[in-house]
Structure formats: C-alpha cells, structure tokens
Structure 1
Amino acid sequence: MYRICKAAQHLHQFFAPFQKRCGTGSAPGEKAKYPNLNASISQGILAVNGNNGLNVNGIPSQNIAASSSMTLYRAGYIRNNEASKNLLVQMADLSVQEDQNNITLNITQAYLNILMAEENIVALQEILTTTKTQLKQGDQLYKAGSISKLNYLQIQAQVAQDEYNLVAAQNNLRTYIVNLKQILQLPTDYDFQIVKPESITVDENFKTLSEVQNMAQNQRPEVKYGELNIENSKTNLKMAQPSILPTLSLTGSISSNYVYNNGNYFNQLRNNFFLPIGLSLGIPIYNNRIYRIAIEKSKIEIQQANLDLLNTKTVLNQQIEQAYISLQNSVLQYESASRQMDLNKQSYDIVTAQMKLGSIDYVQLQQQRLTYIQSIQNFLQAKYSAVLNEQIYEFYA
C-alpha cells in the first residue's frame, strides 16, 4: 500500500525548529544554583539625631549599594528544581509531537479525499462518454422510428444527469483541495498540486492487535508524557521536602554614601566603603503547616499522575482496538464492493450491447446504469475508507 509520508515529513520540518528550541540550551532551573545580584542608588535629605531630637537639616545625601546571595545547601532543592525544569521542557516537546500526530492524520484524510474525488471524476467521465455514445445511437434509432420520442428524451436526460454528476464531482475535488491547503496554511494564490501515487491498494496483511498495542505503549508521545509527569511529580515532592529543613546561604553586600558639603565626593565614597560578607542559616520553626500541606499535596499529585498514565494507556488501547475493528470491517466492505462493481460493470456492458440491437428497452438500461453508478460510489468509499483506516492503524504503531 502507498504510504502517506510526504506530508508528515514536511510537518516534521515545520515543527523541528520549535522542538530544537525546547530540547537545547540551559534549563530555567539551572539559574537557581547561581548567586543573585541586586543594586540600588538613593538620593535624599540628611536627618541627624541630636540633643534636640531628630533634626532634618535639608542637606542632600546619596547612598550606593549592591547585595548578593547564593544558596549553598538546601537538601537537594536546587538539583531537583533543575531536574524538574528539564522534565517540563521534555513534556512540552512531547505535547508538540502529539499535536503533530493529530495534524498528520488530518492531512492524510484530506489527501485521500482528493485522490478519491479524482478517481471518481475519471469513472464519471467514462460513464458520460458511454451515455453520449448512446445518445448518438438513440438519435439514429429515433430518426429511423425504432424508438419513441419518450425514450429519446430519456436518453438526453441521462446525458444531462451524467454531466451534472461530473460537475458535482469536480466541485467536490476543488473543495477537498481547499481543505488541504487550509490545513497546511498555504496562501490562497498558492499553485497547489498534489503528488499522486502510482497505485493505491488495500493491504490485508496488517499487524496483530496486541503487537500494535505493545508498540504504541512503548513509543507514543502521550504515554511518554504521562511517564515524565510521574517523574516530575516525584521531583516536586523532593523539592517540597527541603522547605522544612534548614537552608545555608552565602551573603554579601557593598555600600557607600556621600553627604553634601562634607568633603570631596569620591573621598567620601572611599572612606564610607562598607563590605560585609557572611553565612546565613535559615531554620523554619513554624509556618502554619504550609510546607507540610505542600508535601502532602505533592504526594497526592504523584498518585494522580499514576492514575492519569493508567487512563492514557487504557484509552490508547481502546482507540487501537476500535481502529483494528474499523480496519477489518472496511477491508471486508472493500472486497464486497469490488466484486459488486465488477459484476455490475459486466451487466451494464451486456445491457448496453443489447440496447444497440434493440432487444431491450430504455428503462432496463437506465436501471442497470443507476445500479452500476451506485456500485462505483460504494467501491470508492469502501476503498478509501479501508486505506484511511489502515493508515490510522499503522500510525499507532
């Protein structure tokens, strides 16, 4: 069977830059292990506390300062925070892949609709050619008095009906092309031509249900997303636990000030220079059980993540089973419709030949013609339904 691959390849190229941005570079959590730095500068009026109390004398003053701190130990919080951010990046990438899969299936269905419409047009053109030939023969028979005017008008109506069916099929083709262009987000004036396969056949030798389910469970992005979600929930628990433990930090600051009319500006900054550096130990004693509650919530999130993954796997298996049943049914319908169309084609050819000899009337010809047209429609629907269902089933693998 012809594999629908070109659209998926172009789609992969479309998503690749975004996936590359998601998967490379430093994660946001890495920054937590580096020191911070803050600076400030203030301008004000000097207030002096003297014998007469606080005295605001209106002398301008200026203060310049910078401070920095760096966490040295927090029971693995920084390491787990970095790991959590990396997991979130991977999960975002898997979400992109899942959307890519859904769009690829939409492209596949739109592409097959175009192929079906084109094949239907070819069949209707052949039928129209046959009916036009019958009209020429009917014109000769009517002039010779071999058929009535009613039968002659019925043949003309038949040609008009076949022309209408052909125009309707061509309109459907244009609609399907527009749908595919819109899915691909192509400009309206873009000259769009699809690549046609040499042949489209239904392959009846497909993988077993259990084989496809096992393959899907091991590689589908929604399953991997659920697995990473569990890992991330466990990491969040490790991040919550240090909140009730001491934190050791390295702190430091630098500052200086200047007072107007109290000496040279730069001399004052140099003389008033202040640089304290030290260690800070933060010990949580009581916080209204906020951190304890956060730890318990993290444990619940782990359980929820496990349930979400189980549900994802269950739904995925159900979808694959439904796709498997749909594929089996569509293959059987395709085989039945193929036999039906072949038999009706033979019957229509025989009736057409008999019509030339005048051994049957127009009503019998019209009945067989309608039966044959309907069998063509049934065959095309069954054929492309089987191809689409096979694509969906294989896509899960």
Structure 2
Amino acid sequence: MKRRFFFLIFSLITLEIFAQTPNYPTQWTLDNCIEYAKENNISINSLRLSKNSAQQDLLQAKEAKYPNLSGTVSQGLFALNGNNGLHATGVQSQNIGANSSMTLYHANYINNNEASKNLLVQMADLSVQESENNITLSITQAYLSILMNQENIVSLENVLKTTQTQLKQGDQLYKAGSLSKLNYLQIQSQVAQDQYNLTSTQNNLRTNIVNLKQILQLPSNYDFQIVKPDSIIVDNQLKSLQEVQNLAQNQRPEVKYGELSVENSNTNLKMAQASIQPTLSVTGNISTNYSNGNGNYFNQLGNNFYMPIGLSLGIPIYNNRIYKTQIEKSKIAIEQANLDLQNTRTVLNQQIEQSYINLQNALAQYDSASKQMDISKQSYDIVNAQMKIGSIDYVQLQQQRLVYIQVIQNYLQAKYTAVLNKQIYEFYAGNPINLK
C-alpha cells in the first residue's frame, strides 16, 4: 500500500514538472532563439500585461458614454418616538428603488478620455515592440559570438594538429640526433601554447553559451546547443545613410511612441480644459415601498411608485485654482513630449550614423583580413613544407606560426564584426535579422 502511495505522489510530481516545462524549439536556430525570447521573456510579458491593463481602461472609457444603473432593496422595522421614548413597532417595511444618470454634455470630455485611453493602449504595444527589438539585437550578438568561437576552435584545432605532427617528427629527429634539445623543447612549448589557446577559446565558447542561455532565461541544467547556419556570408551591399534614417524615423517603435505621447498630451489638455466647462447630465430614479399592515403587498408597491426624471447642470465657479493648474501643467506636458520626441529622433539618427560608420569600418577590415588570411595561410604551408625538408630552422617556423595564428584571430573577428554590424544596420531599416 505504501509503495502504491509513493508511486502515485511521484507520478503527480512528474506530471506537474512536465506541465510546467516550456515548449522548447527542437533546434535552436537564431530565428528560434528570437521567437522564443519574444514569447517567453519575463520583461516582455510584463509589458504585455501592462498593455492588457490599458485595454481594460479603454473598455471602461468606452462605457462612460452610456447611462449607469444601480438598484437598492432595504428591509427593516418602523421605529416611533412616543411617550415612552423611541421604540420599534414590530411593523416590517420594505423599500425598493433604482437610479440612473448619464452625462449629456461635458465639453467632449468623454470622447477625449476614450481617445486618450486608446492612445495609451497603442503606446503600451509600442513598448512591447521596442523591448522585442532590444532583445533581438542582444540575442544576435550573443549568437554570433558563439559562432565565432566555434569557427575559431576549428582553426585552432587544425593549428594544434600541425604542431602535434611537428612534435612527432621532432621526436624522431631528436632521437636520431638530427635535432637539438633546444629546438625539441621549443616544439613542445609550441604544442603546449596551441593547447592553451584552444582551451581558452573553448572556455570562451562555454561562457558565451551561458550568456545566451541567460538572455533566453533558460534553466541552468538545460543542455543548450545552437544550430550553426550552413554559411555565414559577409554582404557588402549598403543602403545609403539617409535612406536608412528615413526608414527608421517612419517605422521604429520608439519614434511612434514619442508621436503618440505628443498626441496624448494634447488630448489630456482638452480634458483639463473641459473641467472648467459646465456639465449637463440627465438623472432619474424609481422607488416604491411597502409596510406591513397597510394593505396588499403588490397594491402598495403600485400605489407608492415614484419616478422623478430631471436634468442636472454643474457649473464650476471657484476651486482654489485646481483646474487652472491642471491646464497649465498639461501645456507643459505637451512641450516636454515634443522635446522627448525631438530627442528620440536625434538619438536615433546618431545611432544609425554610428552604425553606418561601424559597418563601413568593419567591411574594410574584413576585406583586408581576408587578403591577409590567404597570404598567411600560403606562407604557413610553405614554411611547414620547408621545415620538413630542413631548409629552414625552427625560429622561422615559429615566427610564421605566430603570425598565422594572429591572422586567424583578426580574420574571424573582422568577419563576425562585419556580419553583426550589417545586421544591426539593416535592422534599423526595418529588415528582420537574417543570417542566410
């Protein structure tokens, strides 16, 4: 019996764990990483909740144009003040009523309030989009760092294989007396250095994987592996700076947010100005009552029926400058919103210009690094071949090897820097991230 009980508890816990496990992609491509983050990131989902809250405010504002309605029912006893003081008669009584009111005129306050709430919903949605854009760039940078490390590891493994081969040959030459002990030790040191470089890059890879996992907010014990694209191509085709700036000014959510903020500030001013205007409302209520001992229940409800309907006009006269202050502060808010929008546009143009400069520099460095890579690879192969036949000494080989390793690092850095900057620049233009 106990075994069945514990098995049942274990099964329930297991089912709960699986129920709480997010639906991870089968393969972690860059697109999948971005889509997963957009759907599951805590900060983004928190902004979505803020948007849902703003939508509820909008629904409430839309209903303000319709009449309200409330009802009351009360049950009690009569209390009379007689010679012996106040005492309850024991006679039961009942009152039934309902009342309603609707604003007929308030200087268009209700419509402006609805418009303001609608703008706030749109602004909340733009905040979600801006946060998605930010995390998209963060994921792209982390993803490319992983790809660079992986490619660097392959290059360093090839270098290590070459030096290990040299060590085997050196070992044979040293035993045969054809290689000095100093040169033999230098080859061993070279192998150790190449192993160190490889290990260091592998550690960097693990660090970058953890970084991307943290951005995606994945569990620490989750085995996270990205899928490498078939190829990473450096595209040197550029849109003009002015074209990208114009596209960004018309599309970016931070600019649209600023524009809506200005519009909302103007709407808030209209609402503040409505507060000093008269308010005309229609009001009405119905009521009836019943008391025990005064006749039939339903007859009393009919005879005591009361239904007054009327108009109510509220005229603000003096309120200690509260409304006037609200109007002036609304005007200040409009000026502030315009300044914020101007600053957003200026900063965005500056960011795009810097991205354009970074991309131009990265493409130029990549072009130079590519040429240097080809030359250095050929030189290193030639030196290795000459070393095998003994036409050069170890010092020359070591010098060329160090140059080659540095060239590899420069080439990979230039390549992935160019790819990243191209993606960022195109992203400003409204194009999605795409490594294909």
TM-score in terms of structure 1 length: 0.89
How far has the Cα of 1:292 moved from its partner? 2.1
Give the 3 Å change call, closer, same or farther, for CA 219–32 of structure 1 in structure 2.
same
Q: Contact 2:288 / 2:302 at 8 angstroms: preserved in 1?
A: yes
Q: Which residue of 2 aligns with 1:322?
A: 354
Letter in 1 for 2:143: Y
Q: Which residue of 1 aligns with 2:19?
A: none
Is 1:229 paired with 2:258? no
Deviates more, 1:201-210 or 1:18-27: 18-27
Query: CA separation in 1, counterparts of 2:219 and 2:303?
Result: 69
Counterpart selection for 2:409 from 344, 366, 377: 377
SS where residue 391 of structure 2 aligns? Answer: coil
SS where residue 27 of structure 1 aligns? Answer: helix
How far has the Cα of 1:66 moved from its partner? 3.1
Letter in 2 for 1:220: R
Q: Which residue of 2 aligns with 1:362?
A: 394
Query: CA separation in 2, counterparts of 1:299 and 1:53?
Result: 66
Counterpart selection for 1:171 from 197, 200, 203: 203
Identity among equivalent pairs (%): 71
Q: Contact 1:135 / 1:155 at 8 angstroms: preserved in 2?
A: yes
How far has the Cα of 1:262 moved from its partner? 6.2
Deviations 1:122-159 (A, max 9, x none): 10111011011101110111011011223222222322
Q: Which residue of 2 aligns with 1:30?
A: 62
SS where residue 206 of structure 1 aligns? Answer: coil
Q: Contact 2:54 / 2:120 at 8 angstroms: preserved in 1?
A: no
Where do residues 239-318 of structure 1 align in structure 2 (5 Å cutoff)? 239-257=271-289, 269=301, 271-318=303-350
Q: Contact 1:29 / 1:84 at 8 angstroms: preserved in 2?
A: no
Q: Contact 1:240 / 1:291 at 8 angstroms: preserved in 2?
A: yes
How far has the Cα of 1:90 moved from its partner? 0.5
Deviates more, 1:177-186 or 1:201-210: 177-186
Letter in 2 for 1:363: V
Q: Which residue of 2 aligns with 1:89?
A: 121
Q: Which residue of 1 aligns with 2:250?
A: 218
Query: CA separation in 2, counterparts of 1:111 and 1:125?
Result: 21
How far has the Cα of 1:7 moved from its partner? 4.2
How far has the Cα of 1:205 moved from its partner? 1.8
Deviations 1:264-300 (A, max 9, x none): 7666555544332222111222222221221222222
Q: Contact 1:23 / 1:93 at 8 angstroms: preserved in 2?
A: no
Counterpart selection for 1:158 from 174, 190, 195: 190
SS where residue 313 of structure 2 aligns? Answer: strand
Where do residues 125-164 of structure 1 align in structure 2 (5 Å cutoff)? 125-164=157-196
Give the 3 Å change call, closer, same or farther, for CA 206–9 of structure 1 in structure 2.
farther
Letter in 1 for 2:426: E
SS where residue 33 of structure 1 aligns? Answer: coil
Deviates more, 1:160-169 or 1:382-391: 160-169
Q: Contact 1:64 / 1:256 at 8 angstroms: preserved in 2?
A: yes
Letter in 2 for 1:360: I
How far has the Cα of 1:28 moved from its partner? 3.2
Q: Which residue of 2 aligns with 1:100?
A: 132
Query: CA separation in 2, counterparts of 1:24 and 1:286?
Result: 35
SS where residue 275 of structure 2 aligns? Answer: helix
Q: Contact 1:320 / 1:393 at 8 angstroms: preserved in 2?
A: yes
Give the 3 Å change call, closer, same or farther, for CA 23–44 of structure 1 in structure 2.
closer
Query: CA separation in 1, counterparts of 2:85 and 2:124?
Result: 59
Q: Contact 1:77 / 1:238 at 8 angstroms: preserved in 2?
A: yes
Q: Contact 1:226 / 1:312 at 8 angstroms: preserved in 2?
A: yes
SS where residue 96 of structure 1 aligns? Answer: helix
How far has the Cα of 1:81 moved from its partner? 1.0
The aligned length equals 394
Q: Contact 2:116 / 2:268 at 8 angstroms: preserved in 1?
A: yes
- Aligned-pair RMSD on alpha carbons? 3.0
Query: CA separation in 2, counterparts of 1:131 and 1:117?
Result: 21
Query: CA separation in 1, counterparts of 2:87 and 2:101?
Result: 34
Instruction: Give ranges in structure 1 of 5+ residues lacking alignment.
Output: none
Q: Contact 1:27 / 1:86 at 8 angstroms: preserved in 2?
A: no
Q: Contact 1:248 / 1:281 at 8 angstroms: preserved in 2?
A: yes
Letter in 1 for 2:192: A
